[in-house]
Amino acid sequence: MREVWILTRRELRAFFDSPSAYIVLSVFLLITGWFFGNSLFVENVASLRSVFDLAPVLFMFFIPALTMGTFAEERRAGTIELLLTLPVRDGQVIAAKLLSVVVVLLVALALTGVYVLTLAVLGDPDNGATLGGYLGLALLGLSCSALGLFASSLTRNQIVAFILGFAMIFGLYLLDKVTIFVPGWLAPILEYLSIDFHYRNLMRGVIDSRDVLYYLSLTAFAGLLTAYHLARRPE
Amino acid sequence: MIEVRELTKRYGSEVAVDRISFTVRSGEVLGFLGPNGAGKTTTMKVITCYLPPTEGTVLVDGLDVRQDSLAIRQKIGYLPENTPLYPDMATYDYLEFMAAMRGLDGAVRRRRLAEVIEVCGLGDVLTKRIDALSKGYRQRVGLAQAMVHDPPILILDEPTSGLDPNQIVEIRSLIKTLGREKTVILSTHILPEVQASCDRVLIIHRGRIVADGTPDELQTAHGGQRILFGVQAPEPEVRSALERVDGVRVEEARREGDGTLLLRLSTDGQKDLRPELFRLAVERGWTLTELHRERVDLEEVFRQLTMN
pLDDT for res A111: 92
Within 8 A by CB and 6+ apart from B288, the residues are B230, B231, B278, B281, B282
Q: For chain A, what percent of residues have pLDDT higher than 90? A: 63
What Å distances lie between residue B181 and A152, B150, B154, CA to CA? Answer: 41, 10, 11
Minimal Cα distance from B86: which residue of A?
A79
Contact B97 A6 (CB under 8 A): yes
From chain B residues 179-218, the ones with a CB under 8 A of any chain A CB are: none
Q: Tell me which of A78-82, A207-211, B290-294 is least confident.
A: B290-294
Minimal Cα distance from A77: which residue of B?
B84
pLDDT for res B296: 65
Minimal Cα distance from B131: which residue of A?
A77
Contact B50 A81 (CB under 8 A): yes
CATH superfamily of B2-213: P-loop containing nucleotide triphosphate hydrolases (3.40.50.300)
Mapped to the 3 state alphabet, what secondary structure does chain A carry? Answer: CHHHHHHHHHHHHHHHHCHHHHHHHHHHHHHHHHHHHHHHHHCCCCCCHHHHHHHHHHHHHHHHHHHHHHHHHHHHHCHHHHHCCCCCCHHHHHHHHHHHHHHHHHHHHHHCHHHHHHHHHHCCCCHHHHHHHHHHHHHHHHHHHHHHHHHHHCCCCHHHHHHHHHHHHHHHHHHHHCHHHCCHHHHHHHHHHCHHHHHHHHHCCCCCHHHHHHHHHHHHHHHHHHHHHHHCCCC
Number of Cβ pairs closer than 8 Å across A and B? Answer: 60
Residue B293, chain A, CB below 8 Å: the answer is: no
Residues from chain B contacting residue A13 (CB–CB below 8 Å): 93
Sequence ranges of the domains in chain B: 2-213, 224-296
**CA distance, residue A59 to nearest chain B CA (Å):** 27
pLDDT for res B223: 62
pLDDT for res A228: 95
**CA distance, residue B101 to nearest chain A CA (Å):** 6
**CB nearest to A10's CB, from B73, B74, B97:** B97
pLDDT for res B215: 80
Contact A77 B87 (CB under 8 A): yes
With 80 as the cut, is the pLDDT of residue A189 above it? Answer: yes
pLDDT for res B34: 85
**CA distance, residue A6 to nearest chain B CA (Å):** 7
Contact A79 B86 (CB under 8 A): yes
**CB nearest to B78's CB, from A7, A17, A85:** A85
Q: Tell me which of A76-85, A142-151, B227-236 is least confident.
A: B227-236
pLDDT for res B58: 94
With 80 as the cut, is the pLDDT of residue A191 above it? Answer: yes
pLDDT for res B198: 87
Minimal Cα distance from B12: which residue of A?
A232
Q: Where are the alpha helices (DSSP H) in B180-226?
A: 191-197, 215-223
Q: pLDDT confidence of A68, banded at 50, 70, 90?
A: very high
From 3.30.70.100, 1.10.287.3510, 3.40.50.410, 3.40.50.620, which CATH number describes the B224-296 domain?
3.30.70.100
Average confidence (pLDDT) over A52-69: 92
Average confidence (pLDDT) over A176-201: 88
In which residue ranges of chain B is pLDDT below 50?
none
Residue B102, chain A, CB below 8 Å: the answer is: yes
Residues from chain B contacting residue A10 (CB–CB below 8 Å): 86, 89, 97
pLDDT for res B295: 67
Contact A78 B84 (CB under 8 A): yes
- Angle, helices B274-284 vs B235-243, to 10°: value is 130
Q: For chain A, what percent of residues have pLDDT higher than 70? A: 100
How many Å apart are CA A191 and CA B33, to the nearest integer?
59
How many Å apart are CA B277 and CA B49, to the nearest integer?
54
Residues from chain A contacting residue B76 (CB–CB below 8 Å): 85
From chain B residues 47-66, the ones with a CB under 8 A of any chain A CB are: 48-52
Q: Tell me which of A86-90, A151-155, A228-232, B267-271 is least confident.
A: B267-271
**CA distance, residue B187 to nearest chain A CA (Å):** 17
Average confidence (pLDDT) over A13-40: 89
Residues B111-164 have pLDDT tens digits of: 999 999 998 889 999 999 999 998 889 998 999 999 999 999 999 998 887 778
Contact A87 B87 (CB under 8 A): no
Average confidence (pLDDT) over A159-178: 94
pLDDT for res B97: 96
Burial class (CB in 10 A: 0-12, 13-18, 19+), B297: middle
Strand order in the sheet with B2-11: B14-24, B2-11, B55-60, B63-64
Within 8 A by CB and 6+ apart from B97, the residues are A6, A10, B86, B89
Quick check: B183 and B26 in contact, CB under 8 A?
yes
E strand or H helix at B236, and its extent? helix B235-243
Contact B102 A81 (CB under 8 A): no
Average confidence (pLDDT) over A112-141: 88
Residue B82, chain A, CB below 8 Å: the answer is: yes
Minimal Cα distance from B49: which residue of A?
A85
Which ipTM was obtained for this model? 0.90
Q: Tell me which of A77-81, A187-191, B245-249 is least confident.
A: B245-249
Minimal Cα distance from B48: which residue of A?
A85
Contact A6 B84 (CB under 8 A): no
pLDDT for res B42: 92
**CA distance, residue A149 to nearest chain B CA (Å):** 19
- Identical fold at B2-213 and B224-296? no
Q: pLDDT confidence of A181, banded at 50, 70, 90?
A: confident
Q: Which residue has the higher pLDDT, A161 or A180?
A: A161
How many Å apart are CA A103 and CA A97, to the nearest integer?
10
Quick check: B141 and B120 in contact, CB under 8 A?
yes
Residues from chain A contacting residue B51 (CB–CB below 8 Å): 233
Quick check: B183 and B1 in contact, CB under 8 A?
yes
pLDDT for res A59: 93
Quick check: A136 and A195 in contact, CB under 8 A?
no
Per DSSP, the three-state class of B20 is strand
Report the candidate in A103, A124, A119 with the shortest Cα–Cα distance to residue A48. A119
pLDDT for res A30: 92
Report the candidate in B35, B54, B36, B42 with the shortest Cα–Cα distance to residue B16. B42
Residues from chain A contacting residue B101 (CB–CB below 8 Å): 3, 6-7, 86-88
